[in-house]
Chain A
Amino acid sequence: MTSDMILPFYQALTADVTALAAQATVPSTDAVQSIRRKALERFTAMGLPTLKTEAWRYSNIQRYLKEFPYELLNNAAPVAPTVAQQAAIPELDCYRVVLVNGHLQADQSTLPEGKGITIGAMSTYADAPGFVTYFNQQHHLETESLAQLNTALFADGLYIELAANTVLDKPIHVIHVYSCTAHSFIQPRHLWVLNRSAAATIIESSVHPETTAVAFANSVVETVVQENAELWHYCVQQGEDSFREVSTTAAQQFKDSRYHHFSVTLPGTPFTRNNTSVALNGSHTETNLNGLYITNKHQHVDNHTFMDHIMPDCNSNELYKGVLLDDSNGVFTGKILVHQEAQKTNAFQQNNNLLLGSKADINSQPQLEIYADDVKCSHGFTAGQFSEESMFYLRSRGIGEEAAKALMVNAFSHDITDAIHVPALQHFLQEQIAEIMNN
């Protein structure tokens, strides 16, 4: 018996698998049911990750799963619109999608409409061509047991499909509300498909209403960026103390497509794990993975990335920057796999950290596996403190130590924030960073 099996949560999961699967009422086409069954088999074979699981060596998820007796939660009680409003970004002109525990709240949402736009609950679109073609097709999900658990048991989520040449005029702000009265394990599942030459910006935020019940989210987003399409995908994580999160994003890119992913984790949630993986199924693509984590107290943030260069002539750029305050710790894993066929690959990766807390630490590991011989790949890692000379320069101009630190942190994160192409979001995050550093 492995240690995870003694978790009450795990026992509940495995006690009556069929009953659990039945709880997840939708979507329930035969194809989906078959996918769910396979996923459940894989999950039970793999079990929950432990410290012995290579991909989880530095993130003791068991500790967080044991903290509270979590129950699987598949439904959503109504939540007042003021809750979602907490995640609103000032001055952001956008469409809004509010999901409570993965369930779409149409009355609180403003959905984009028009030719070529399909958007709604996953449960209503299990027959949609995009769903049938792409649901659970990103093969990286297969090796991650929590993603398999999500596939097996998710209740609902957001489905978006943009037809060829459809360009959204405004960003979609997806607000995930996690609401529960008992400690709950919640698993939303989303699929966003951009067909040929489509373009969109999607911003994700989450909010967990003030409560003593702890929510543990295990969410999966699959994105598909078809030929020549472009997706800007922002994840803003500013969770509460009573929230924990494993967030998996699995993207597929096709020929000439561009995918820009930002994951910004700010203080709040004690445990965050982001699995971000991109499979390059076409040539001449561009991928930017940007991460910024500013952590405090005993916060633990783990960014686990996987750039899968399957096809030749693709470009990927990965930049993750961390500011670790107090006793917080960060983990960064950057896997780059360049297949033998993927000649002329450019794949760059950088992870820079400011360790500002006396007990803060960072574990960073690049994993480059390169089987092609004509490629340009690089990786780099730094961890350091503020430059004393810069601090003295700022202070010699009358800027107090705290304000100087705030300026320096803003400066450190500027190559991430500068790359944000939505001005309201950029401004919002800069303000948030300044506020964190001033407190």
Chain B
Amino acid sequence: MLTIKNLHAEVEGKKILKGINLEINKGEMHAIMGPNGSGKSSLASVLAGRDNYTVTEGEVWFNGKNLLDLSPEDRAREGVFLAFQYPVEIPGVSNLNFLKTALNEIRAYKGLPALEAREFLKLTKEKQQLVDFHSNLMNRSLNEGFSGGEKKRNEIFQLAMLDPQLAILDETDSGLDIDALRIVSNGVNKLRDAEKSFVVITHYQRLLEYIIPDFVHVLYNGRIIKTGTKELALELEERGYDWLKEELHLKESV
């Protein structure tokens, strides 16, 4: 589904990603971990098409299409979704209107007619329950005055509504209390199926107790330096990242 080959990217002339290789197949759950500043969120941004990043080398293929050639909106319409680490507040744009516009733009791209009001509301009700997203938040301005947990729940709610093939969760767990973390993780788990793939970027192993990954990758200094299964996450929790860094330096100095 997604193939990343030797991806290099920089922001304001500073090299951030230095040759990422990653293959994600249908239905897989990948976790990307790594210390601060390793390039985790940058990878998410590059995949979603944030324009202050410049890709200097490498390729990204999504279902046979060159993802890097597409505008952010076309990436979303093709089925890539980024749950933001810091969701933006947009006063004056109602959540409901925003979602309706997004959904219908994606449908139009696929040649589908706009959803009728009743169908849209039905869908909304159904998906709201997934993340316990209160109806009164729906009519409010997009994320305006939402608590941290409400914002993250809104991201997962949008994910449920837009039903992408690939969802990238950028530190969705950061700043959540344990109850909110459970709600968000439950929502994600309910959305897992054989067709949908996830990339979960996290700083904390805690999330992976709730969302069980198929693969765990460690990103360090703009590269994936180790790939393993969920056990790797536990090891990282116990031992930190230093042993990996040492391993890497040993390898590189040889």
Instruction: Give the B-binding residues of A (Cβ under 8 A).
Output: 387-390, 392-401, 403-404, 407-408, 410-415
Determine whether the beta carbon of A396 is less than 8 Å from that of B72.
Answer: yes
Determine whether the beta carbon of A397 is less than 8 Å from that of B158.
Answer: yes
Determine whether the beta carbon of A398 is less than 8 Å from that of B92.
Answer: no
Cβ-based interface call for B109 (8 A): yes
Q: A392-B51, A396-B76 are in contact. List 15 more A-B contacts (CB 8 A).
A: A390-B90, A392-B50, A394-B90, A395-B71, A395-B76, A396-B49, A396-B72, A396-B73, A396-B82, A398-B77, A401-B73, A407-B90, A407-B93, A408-B90, A414-B91
Chain A residues with CB below 8 A from B49, complex form: 395-396
In the complex, chain B residues 47-92 whose Cβ is within 8 Å of any chain A Cβ = 48-51, 71-73, 75-77, 81-82, 84, 87-88, 90-92
Minimum CB–CB distance from B106 to chain A (whole Å) comes to 4
Determine whether the beta carbon of A389 is less than 8 Å from that of B73.
Answer: no
Q: Which residue of A lies closest to B83 (CB)?
A: A396
26 contacts between A and B (CB under 8 A): A390-B88, A392-B72, A393-B90, A394-B98, A394-B102, A395-B49, A395-B72, A395-B73, A396-B48, A396-B75, A396-B84, A397-B76, A397-B98, A397-B162, A398-B102, A398-B103, A399-B98, A399-B101, A400-B73, A400-B105, A407-B90, A407-B97, A408-B90, A410-B92, A413-B92, A415-B92
Q: Which 6 A-B pairs have the closest CB atoms?
A: A411-B92, A414-B92, A398-B76, A395-B72, A397-B102, A398-B106
Q: Which residue of B lies closest to A406 (CB)?
A: B101
A290 to B57, CA, bound (A): 52
A216 to B137, CA, bound (A): 48
Minimum CB–CB distance from A389 to chain B (whole Å) comes to 5
Determine whether the beta carbon of B105 is less than 8 Å from that of A411.
Answer: no
Minimum CB–CB distance from B145 to chain A (whole Å) comes to 15
Chain A residues with CB below 8 A from B73, complex form: 395-396, 398-401, 404
Chain B residues with CB below 8 A from A397, complex form: 76, 81, 98, 102, 158, 162
Q: Which residue of B lies closest to A401 (CB)?
A: B73
Chain A residues with CB below 8 A from B98, complex form: 394, 397, 399, 407
Determine whether the beta carbon of B71 is less than 8 Å from that of A398.
Answer: no
Chain B residues with CB below 8 A from A412, complex form: 92
Minimum CB–CB distance from B205 to chain A (whole Å) comes to 27
**Chain B: interface residue total (CB-CB under 8 A):** 30
Determine whether the beta carbon of B102 is less than 8 Å from that of A389.
Answer: no
Interface core residue of B50, B73, B97, B109 (most chain A CB under 10 Å)? B73
Chain B residues with CB below 8 A from A404, complex form: 73
A175 to B71, CA, bound (A): 45
Instruction: Give the A-binding residues of B (Cβ under 8 A).
Output: 48-51, 71-73, 75-77, 81-82, 84, 87-88, 90-93, 97-98, 101-103, 105-106, 109, 141, 158, 162
Partner of B84, one of A387, A393, A401, A414: A393
Minimum CB–CB distance from A339 to chain B (whole Å) comes to 36
Determine whether the beta carbon of B90 is less than 8 Å from that of A403.
Answer: no
A389 to B73, CA, bound (A): 14
Chain B residues with CB below 8 A from A389, complex form: 88
Determine whether the beta carbon of B76 is less than 8 Å from that of A411.
Answer: no
Chain B residues with CB below 8 A from A388, complex form: 51
A413 to B106, CA, bound (A): 26
Minimum CB–CB distance from B202 to chain A (whole Å) comes to 20
Interface core residue of A393, A397, A404, A412 (most chain B CB under 10 Å)? A397
Determine whether the beta carbon of B102 is less than 8 Å from that of A399.
Answer: yes
Q: Which residue of B lies closest to A407 (CB)?
A: B93
Q: Which residue of A lies closest to B92 (CB)?
A: A411
Chain A residues with CB below 8 A from B105, complex form: 398-400, 403
A394 to B158, CA, bound (A): 12
A111 to B91, CA, bound (A): 40
A393 to B90, CA, bound (A): 10
A389 to B91, CA, bound (A): 13
Chain B residues with CB below 8 A from A393, complex form: 84, 87-88, 90
Minimum CB–CB distance from B111 to chain A (whole Å) comes to 14
A412 to B92, CA, bound (A): 7
Determine whether the beta carbon of A398 is less than 8 Å from that of B109.
Answer: yes
Chain A residues with CB below 8 A from B92, complex form: 410-415
Minimum CB–CB distance from A406 to chain B (whole Å) comes to 9
Minimum CB–CB distance from A184 to chain B (whole Å) comes to 40
Minimum CB–CB distance from B226 to chain A (whole Å) comes to 29
Chain B residues with CB below 8 A from A400, complex form: 73, 105
A415 to B91, CA, bound (A): 9
Determine whether the beta carbon of A411 is less than 8 Å from that of B102.
Answer: no
Chain B residues with CB below 8 A from A411, complex form: 90-93, 141
A404 to B102, CA, bound (A): 9
A395 to B48, CA, bound (A): 10
Interface core residue of A388, A394, A401, A414 (most chain B CB under 10 Å)? A394
Determine whether the beta carbon of A398 is less than 8 Å from that of B97.
Answer: no
Chain A residues with CB below 8 A from B97, complex form: 407
Q: Which residue of A lies closest to B90 (CB)?
A: A390
Minimum CB–CB distance from A384 to chain B (whole Å) comes to 14
Chain B residues with CB below 8 A from A394, complex form: 90, 93, 98, 102
Chain B residues with CB below 8 A from A395, complex form: 49, 71-73, 76
Chain B residues with CB below 8 A from A396, complex form: 48-49, 72-73, 75-76, 81-82, 84
Determine whether the beta carbon of A398 is less than 8 Å from that of B90.
Answer: no
A279 to B85, CA, bound (A): 51
Q: Which residue of A lies closest to B86 (CB)?
A: A389
Chain A residues with CB below 8 A from B93, complex form: 394, 407-408, 410-411
Q: Which residue of B lies closest to A400 (CB)?
A: B73
A230 to B97, CA, bound (A): 33
Chain A residues with CB below 8 A from B51, complex form: 388, 392
Chain B residues with CB below 8 A from A414, complex form: 91-92
A33 to B84, CA, bound (A): 70
Q: Which residue of A lies closest to B164 (CB)?
A: A398
Interface core residue of B48, B90, B97 (most chain A CB under 10 Å)? B90
Minimum CB–CB distance from A164 to chain B (whole Å) comes to 40
A398 to B108, CA, bound (A): 10
Minimum CB–CB distance from A413 to chain B (whole Å) comes to 8
A246 to B180, CA, bound (A): 57
A352 to B8, CA, bound (A): 41
Q: Which residue of B lies closest to A393 (CB)?
A: B88
Q: Which residue of B lies closest to A418 (CB)?
A: B92
A96 to B71, CA, bound (A): 49
Chain A residues with CB below 8 A from B101, complex form: 399, 403, 407
